[in-house]
Homo-oligomer: A and B are copies of this chain.
Amino acid sequence: MARAGLSQEAVVDLALQAVDEGGPTALTLAAVAARAGVAIPSLYKHVRNLAELRALVSVRIMNELSDLLTEAVLGRSGDEAVRALMEAWRAYAVRHPHRYAAIIQAPDPATAQAGERLIGILLATLRAYGLHGSAAVHAVRCLRAMAHGFGVLEASGAFGLPEKLDDSYDLLVRMAISRLRTAR
């Protein structure tokens, strides 16, 4: 029998595909195996169990987001960088709502590391405001809470009113920026 030529990478790819199409609850070993054209137990050769697969998916998503944020702040600084960062963040959540909804996982070492990378990007962006140490940490947490909260709510359809979401997000970003400038 010809081998399918799977790998952990490939399995995670297919898992992401499943998430994109059916949301986080559609990430099932059966769905991934079907996509791979393989029997379910074969997946255990590449992944310890479903929990690990979920963690791997989460890490992949966080890294994807980190890449986009890095690209967004390249060549910018200060308010402009923060605005670009926040816009890129939301753009990712809007473009891949299901994927974004799958980002939250039980805390485990692998995802923690991916999360630290994300935080590092934010910290670097805030250096332009002269924020270091604890002040920067607090500011980063605020940016995360804002972007993540908006992303989660938007992705889950919690904003039902007809007002434009772009305008709401714009206000949110201005809330962040104005305080950052004075919080030096």
Query: Which A residues lie at the B interface, using CB under 8 A?
Result: 104-107, 112, 115, 134, 137-139, 141-142, 144-150, 152-153, 156-161, 163, 165, 167-168, 171-172, 174-176, 178-179, 183
Contact = CB atoms under 8 A, between A and B. Distances in A.
A22 B128 CA distance: 43
B142 A171 contact: yes
Contact of A149 (B147, B167, B168, B183): B147
B168 A174 contact: no
Given A142-B175, A179-B178, A156 B104 contact: yes
A110 to B, nearest CB: 14
A158 to B, nearest CB: 7
